[in-house]
Structure 1
Amino acid sequence: MLGSRVGEGQNQSQDTVAAPVELYCQAFAEFLTGLTDEPSPDIVTRTKEMMITVDKIATKEDTRSELTRTLSNIISYGIYQNVALYSQTSPPYETVALIIFEEKSEMGNGGCDPTAQASYSYERFWSSPGHQEVLNASCCPSFLVALAGPWLCVLGAVWTDHAVVQRLTDFLWLGTSPLIDDSRCLNIARVLSSLGKAVVTLRHFYASLDTSAPPPGTLPRCLSPCINSYYTGRSESDRDHPTLPAAGPVTLYPRRPAESDEEVEFDYIRPLGSYRACTTFLAVRKSDERRVVVKFVARYGTDAHRLLEKEGLAPELVYAGHILSRGTDGKLRKMYNNLFMVVMAYVEGITLADRFAFSALPKEIVEQVERAMTLLHGAGLVYGDLCRPNVMVTGEGKVQLVDFDWAGKEGVVRYPSFISNERRWASGVQSYAIIKAEHDQEMLSRF
């Protein structure tokens, strides 16, 4: 099971982590974005009543059931034997799990983490007979709710080639406080209100599930992200692209979407990485069958990409901005708060790591990479992740830098908190350290 904890003696690796579940189902994205919305007075009142209920230590089954019933009322969906089910009214006529609850009388009872047990319950439900057509047509998204006494945690789960489980909230203390604490009551109400709305979205997902075969040569739907378009009202030669956030004290956001923006749809062909957490895909646009690379990022060095693109040292940047959806009212809205989409031209070529795996780089290749670093550093920018796998060479010997996730303004952008311990980094590189031009230069010297 991906995204879950590993056993003693095992290590977290690219084979045990996965892409965010919100990439595969919009209901999870809606839940996360809704956590900042104000709940209705009715939800706040019901939340207050629930908080009073959980102050009682649950020693009997009926006390725990009372909490489940209260939660069911708040999210406005019935719960039967710890599962909120939905039976499809059109083919394939299968029953699906919208929410799976896992209850413990108190934290630690039973010797098992309730979030882990909820994960196993999800796996058991979807691997049981009677769900094959839904498994073939979707990633089988379900919300998981773990309850342990006065503690609650919301998780999201999907089934790609493996079950993937992601914690969408921390454990929330549901009990009351001896002090006046409206903010905590409101925070819990926001979570429950958002969950209720997201469950409605999830039900609509299953009610309108497309069970037809995907287009030939494209990814199965269980492996494809749910985002299959971007909006742009500008020609792709226009260089006034939005700027994505980069790590640092100042965050720049993309332009506001215009209602006249045109939707460009695409289908996914395959992931461009062999590891399960890969969020970069080869795709084909429906309108003109042009191949593009689609990647999902939390940050991106748009300025660095633009600069090298102009000099012929990076692929054409087609789109960089918010992941958008057009509502029933025709207006565009952001689907994600902290996730962005980058679309670039697909480069026919091979990485330096593959092309020159057992040989030194030709002088003309090194000179092109050196020129790229000179251009970036001259503009006050850094690349940050300079290595052979991030540099491609075309059949004509033209160098293309393809990964600008860490790039940005020198002195501002930082390395991620989690960086590989397996790579030999430049001197001074460590988790969350400032990225410096000298780091790029040292990594370049190893080419």
Structure 2
Amino acid sequence: MTTTIFFIAAVDAKERFTFWEGNIEIGSTKKVYQLQEDLARKYHPFHNSYASEIYKLTDNRKPLDKDIANDELSTFNVLWQNTEMVNGRTSIGALSEEDNFAVILQCNAPQVVSAPSESEEVAEEARDVVGKIEQDFQKFVHRVSTRKTPSVLAHIRDHNTNQSSVHTAMLDGRFAANDPLLQSDLNVPEDVLRHTASLLRSVSILAVPLERVSNLDGTSSDYISAATTPMYINATSAVVEVKADLGSGGSDPGTQSLLSYSRFYCSHERAKIRKISCCPAFLIGIAGPWLVVMGAVLTSRTIAQLLSPYEWLGYSRLFNDQQVYRIARLLYALRLSIAELHEYYARLITPVVQPGHIHPRFCPSVTSFFSDKTEISFVYAHPFEQDFTCVTFKATRTDTQQPIVIKFVRQYGQEAHLLMAKHKMAPKLLSCTPLGDQYDDLSLVAMEFIKGQTLQDAYDPSQPLPDPVRRAIRAGLNLLERRWIRLWRSSQAQYHAC
């Protein structure tokens, strides 16, 4: 049969939707998720199968046309207030012909074909960077939601294959190994299973209910701590995977919890959450008497950080009060943090995204620095490189709307930068702020943004640099050398004076 999908809108770099009328032929016995795949193939075949979302209007008192849709369903915020997402498992035949539906396609803005001015070119470049990140994220979500299940991928061989691809790898610091690290076909003894169950019950000190929640595709982790959201879609603050012992079944519970987390938040039914949030959660792996805790977020990729090593929870021959204190402190900190995440999800709101700027979900959480005891807030525009390891961003000050550069470093030559800036050989340094232990001793460096080109972009790398450029570089090196010599002589004089 032919079902009119009423109105289809493309999501691009602009805030407002643009609706048009569309239709498609699909059998009444098929499911809505199959309709979504057909719509994506028909209207935007270069996107993934989950690039479309179908919403049903909650108010059908007046007929919907494309003009009304453009006026009254102009943005996601308005759309979510007046519609509900159609479940992907719903049968097409169960949809009422009296209802109005809107389809949102995840696609990017068309390219500008006319020759842009210099300022337009910069703005277009920023939009292109933002669009590429959004598109790459949608592809990653599709790959996670359609590949092998977490329990299969957690096996060493499959995980090596997963980590060897830049398109599917989890950013958890693990790389593909040539040989399996763990292999075991052992049958688990009953006493080990009983001890594992006892260990799981002991985790009740976290004071949060753990339950099993299945995704639409039938996959699920062993347990999650479900959190409510204003969109009436369950999030999770913690994902738990349990194994009888390390190496049991050939998979690592820490790795499987990370894969289960990715599958949970990349599932189609949680599209609304990942549109506005980086989906923070804790990952808990339990293997017999061992416990590991990680933190995870979903930006353009899944990023995980080890928060504790594998902790031994078994009994020693002698009572180890230091071990008890260490484990208790870990579990209590985890308990408080999970409760805080529940509050975060309960108050989840759509952030404001400035035109030409990247969505905050893709950016670091640090959004201010101090300069001369004055706090300066900023928003991220885009990273300077299309690389997951890039830690340097173009940003915009919220007070002056001036562009600045933000970078995160573990070490920085602040004195050298100040010296070079004083002689007009470097941008003005606005701040070099240590972020503390909670950010793994990183520092935030803020400086003025100077429009220009790199040497590689400005000159042919196969040719010698022009003499004026070579002289300017040499002048900068000489300045640093003279400063270093003065500091060395001063330190030597102080040493001999002592």
User: 1:362 is matched with which residue?
Assistant: 466
CA shift at 1:10, angstroms? 7.4
* Residues 1:72 and 2:213 are matched in the alignment: no
After TM superposition, list the pairs within 5 Å mapping 1:236-247 onto structure 2.
none
Judged with a 3 Å threshold, the aligned counterparts in structure 2 of structure 1 residues 123 and 105 are, in CA distance, closer, same or farther, namely: same
Over residues 402-428 of structure 1, what are the superposed CA-to-partner deviations in whole Å (9 max), with x where a residue is unaligned? xxxxxx999xxxxxxxxxxxxxxxxxx
List gaps (5 residues or longer) in structure 1: 21-56, 235-260, 325-333, 382-407, 411-447
- Aligned match of 2:184: none
**Is contact 2:420-2:476 (8 Å) kept?**
yes
Q: CA deviation at 1:379?
A: 2.3
Which residue does 1:7 correspond to in 2?
Answer: 160
Residue 59, structure 1, aligned to residue 198, structure 2? no
SS in 2 for 1:270: strand
User: Which runs of structure 2 are paired with 1:314-325 in the superposition (5 Å)?
Assistant: 314-323=426-435
% identity of equivalent residues: 29
Q: Structure 1, residues 344-381: CA drift from partner, whole Å, max 9, x if none? A: 11111111122124332111111111122222222228
Matches within 5 A, 1:195-210: 195-210=334-349
> How do 1:262-277 residues align onto structure 2 when only pairs under 5 Å count?
262-277=374-389
Contact 2:162 2:169 in 1 (8 A): no
Secondary structure of residue in 1 paired with 2:475: helix
Preserved contact between residue 170 and residue 302 of structure 2 (Cα < 8 Å): no
Relative distance call for 1:357 and 1:345 in structure 2 (3 A) is same
> 1:159 Cα deviation (Å)?
1.3
The 3 A distance-change label for structure 1 pair 115 and 134 is same
* Contact 1:58 1:149 (8 Å CA) reproduced: no
Q: Which range moves more in the overlay, 334-343 or 136-145?
A: 334-343
Query: Is residue 2:484 matched to residue 1:380?
Result: yes
Structure 2 distance, partners of 1:146, 1:109, is: 13
SS of the residue aligned with 2:456?
Answer: helix
Alpha-carbon distance in structure 1 between the residues aligned to 2:366 and 2:398 = 14
Residue 341 of structure 1 aligns with which residue?
A: 444
Instruction: State the TM-score, normalizing by the size of structure 2.
Output: 0.56
Give the partner amino acid of 1:211. T
User: 2:227 — aligned with what?
Assistant: 86
Q: What is the match of residue 285 of structure 1?
A: 397
CA distance in 2, matches of 1:371, 1:225: 36
Pair 1:351 & 2:483 matched: no
* 1:200-241 alpha-carbon deviations (Å, 9 max, x no partner): 232232223221451211111221211111134x2xxxxxxx
CA distance in 2 between counterparts of 1:307 and 1:409 reads: 16
Q: 1:285 to 1:160 in 2, by over 3 A?
A: same
Distance 2:168 2:480 in 1: 34
Q: How does 1:293-308 map to 2 (within 5 A)?
A: 293-308=405-420
Please name the residue that 1:254 is paired with.
Answer: none
Residue 68 of structure 1 deviates from its aligned partner by 2.1
Relative to 1, partners in 2 of residues 1:128 and 1:16: Cα closer, same or farther, differing over 3 Å?
closer
Determine which structure has greater relative contact order: mean sequence separation of CA pairs < 8 Å that are 6+ residues apart, divided by chain length: 1
Query: How many pairs does the alignment contain?
Result: 308
Q: Secondary structure of the equivalent of 2:318? A: coil
Matching residue of 1:138: 277
SS in 2 for 1:189: helix
Counterpart CA distance in 2 for 1:124 and 1:103 is 17
Partners of 2:307 and 2:443 lie apart in 1 by 18
SS at match of 1:59: helix
In 1: Cα distance, 2:279 partner to 2:198 partner: 29
1:186 is displaced (CA, Å) by 2.1
Q: What is the deviation of 1:12? A: 9.1
Cα distance in 2 for partners of 1:209, 1:9 equals: 32
8 Å CA contact 1:152–1:172 kept in 2: the answer is yes
Q: Cα–Cα, structure 1 residues 335 and 222, in superposed 2: closer, same or farther, change >3 Å?
A: same
Counterpart-to-counterpart distance in 1, 2:416 and 2:332 = 41
CA 1:350–1:371: 2 relative to 1, 3 Å: same
SS at match of 2:333: helix
How big is the shift at 1:18?
4.8
* Counterpart secondary structure, 1:83: strand
Residues 112-138 of structure 1: CA distance to partner in whole angstroms, max 9, x if unpaired?
111121111112211223211111001
Look up the match of 1:175.
314
The structure that has the greater radius of gyration is 2
* 1:232-257 Cα distance to aligned partner (Å, 9 max, x none): 4x2xxxxxxxxxxxxxxxxxxxxxxx
1:162-241 alignment, distance < 5 Å: 162-232=301-371, 234=372
CA contact (8 A) 1:231 1:264 kept: yes
Is the 1:269–1:281 Cα contact (8 Å) retained in structure 2?
A: yes
Q: Is the 8 A contact 2:170 2:301 kept in 1?
A: no
Distance across 2 between alignment mates of 1:79 and 1:357? 60
Aligned with 1:349: secondary structure? Answer: coil
- Do 1:17 and 1:277's aligned partners in 2 also have CA atoms closer than 8 Å? no
Structure 1 contact 14–275 (Cα < 8 Å) conserved: no
CA displacement, residues 241-280 of structure 1 (integer Å, 9 cap, x when unaligned): xxxxxxxxxxxxxxxxxxxx43211111000122111111
Secondary structure at the counterpart of residue 124 of structure 1: helix
- 8 Å Cα contact 1:19-1:277 kept in structure 2: no
Return the offset for 1:13: 8.0
**Secondary structure at 2:439 match in 1:** coil
Deviation, 1:309, is 1.2
Contact 1:140 1:159 survives alignment (8 Å): yes
How far the C-alpha of 1:287 sits from its partner, in A, is 0.6
Please list every run of 5 or more consecutive structure 2 residues that lacks an aligned counterpart in the other structure: 1-139, 145-153, 174-188, 213-222, 490-498
Distance 1:58 1:322, change over 3 A: farther
**Structure 1 pair 8–337 and aligned structure 2 pair: CA distance change class (3 A):** closer
> TM-score under structure 1 normalisation?
0.63
Letter in 2 for 1:289: Q
Opposite residue 97 of structure 1, the aligned amino acid is T
